[in-house]
Amino acid sequence: MRPLLLFRVARLLSRPMSDDPRLTPLVASLPASVPFVGPETMERAAGHAFAARLGANESVFGPSPKAIAAMQQAAGEAWMYGDPEAHDLRLAIAAHHRVDPAHIMLGEGIDGLLGLIVRMTVAQGVNVVTSAGAYPTFNYHVTGFGGTLHTVSYAGDFEDPERLIAKAKEVKARLVYFANPDNPMGSWHSAATVQDMIHNVPAGALLLLDEAYVDLAPEGTAPPLRPADERVIRFRTFSKAHGLAGARVGYAIGPKDLIAAFNRVRNHFGLSRISQAGALAALGDQDWLAHVQRQVGAARDRIAAIGMENGLTPLPSATNFVTLDCGAGVERARALLEELVARGIFVRMPFVAPQNRCIRISAGQPAQLDLLAEVMPAALAAARARS
């Protein structure tokens, strides 16, 4: 896919909405956009599939074979709605974390749960704090419900807990979004730092702690679970380490009253029988999880080595991707991304300066990373010629 085609895809997905009088004024004011352009959209525009899909932070190592078998069996029961309470899965998650099931809420991935918590707490004009350049889907939900976003910059390549809390106090924010480990940089803070952040959440605010990648992070990244703490709600997912991104299963851990409030707005049939069965089996296969953790570690090392061989600087990562510093600003990073895409390698890059001097490459199978190593020198040479 050439750069012009990438531009056309982005323009198509960001066209202004029509003046349909049936829309609310808020919705009518929003652009017709999505947080991410999917690789499938880019493949359709290009007329061919990517040779290596290394941009969506999926687990190319796949789900547990036990999860696959459970989903195959559940497929024969797909004529039935999924259990609206996700009872068995909810109890299994609670037992896994040694908490009361009343502290657990299931949803369609963390994205779905973020949309619900924003819907529950944010009305037009309500202040919300996040980091400039952090996960854009959260911002999409906030603006969609009329909230006012306040951002703080990263400190180096890390989200800045102290400044996030200070901004929340300054603007009297209702919500503070913070991911640990972080997407898009792969950086992480210690459990002690995160716990200190929770302790300092201002009265009336709620910390949304996104822990999508915590299963891939070093020990000592996540503070102990204290689900009754009214200052924080934590989000986990089966999309990353468990390899079930397409099944859309995430869960929240939080105080009972807040968890119960989800029942007022959630889609009670949002989790299919197949998804619930797959997640339940995946949770029970901790050996497969350990296998994936080893594979991800090896892939991170390989991506870092490929980067260094080509004069790029890999950033330390606690996720299933590695961020490579291209060392020459956004023009070089964007050119490299486009040259890799043109050679069949799907990757992404951060959206906001100064992090957009980088590209981000998901952990891949050895053959995919061999292809990356093969095309990187030519892609980088072409990028340098352009920038």
32 vs 190, more confident? 190
Q: What is the mean pLDDT of residues 187-202?
A: 98
Instruction: Answer whether residue 357 shows pLDDT above 50.
Output: yes
Q: What is the pLDDT of residues 10-50, one digit of tens each?
A: 554 555 556 788 999 998 988 887 777 889 998 998 899 99
Instruction: Answer whether residue 86 shows pLDDT above 70.
Output: yes
Provide the pairing of β-strand 321-325 with 358-362. Answer: antiparallel
Determine the CATH number of domain 3-61+288-386: 3.90.1150.10
* Number of Cβ atoms within 10 Å of the Cβ of 364: 24
| CA 150 from centre of chain | 20
Provide the 3-class DSSP secondary structure of residue 130. strand
pLDDT of residue 228: 98
pLDDT of residue 16: 53
pLDDT of residue 2: 53
Q: Contact 223/195 with Cβ under 8 angstroms?
A: yes
Q: What is the pLDDT of residues 102-155, one digit of tens each?
A: 999 999 999 999 999 999 999 999 999 999 999 999 999 999 999 999 999 999
Q: What is the pLDDT of residues 259-315, one digit of tens each?
A: 999 999 999 999 999 999 999 999 999 999 999 999 999 999 999 999 999 999 999
pLDDT of residue 4: 47
For 245, residues 6+ apart whose C-beta sits below 8 A from its C-beta are: 56, 58, 59, 109, 239
Q: What is the pLDDT of residues 158-169, one digit of tens each?
A: 999 999 999 999
DSSP string, 155-170: BTTB--HHHHHHHHHH
Helix 366-386 / helix 329-342 crossing angle, nearest 10 deg: 130
Percent of the chain residues past pLDDT 70, beyond the cut: 95
Which residue in this structure is represented by tokens 């991104």?
245
Q: What is the mean pLDDT of residues 66-70?
A: 98
Domain boundaries for CATH 3.40.640.10 within the chain: 65-285
**Contacts by 10-19 with C-beta closer than 8 Å and gap 24+?**
10/37, 13/37, 13/41
CATH of 65-285 among 3.20.20.60, 3.40.640.10, 3.40.50.1450, 3.30.360.10: 3.40.640.10
Domain boundaries for CATH 3.90.1150.10 within the chain: 3-61+288-386
Q: What is the mean pLDDT of residues 247-259?
A: 98
CA distance 317 to 218: 10
How is residue 246 annotated by DSSP? G
Provide the 3-class DSSP secondary structure of residue 99. coil
Percent of the chain residues past pLDDT 90, beyond the cut: 89
* Number of Cβ atoms within 10 Å of the Cβ of 95: 11
pLDDT of residue 32: 80
Instruction: Answer whether residue 246 shows pLDDT above 80.
Output: yes
pLDDT of residue 36: 79
pLDDT of residue 7: 44
* Residue ranges with strand state E in 153-217: 175-179, 206-210
Average pLDDT, the chain: 94
pLDDT of residue 294: 98
Instruction: Answer whether residue 9 shows pLDDT above 90.
Output: no
Buried b (16+ CB within 10 A) or exposed e, 116-147: bbbbebbeeebbbbbbbbbbbbbbbbbbebbb
pLDDT of residue 31: 83
Which residue in this structure is represented by tokens 């309470």?
85
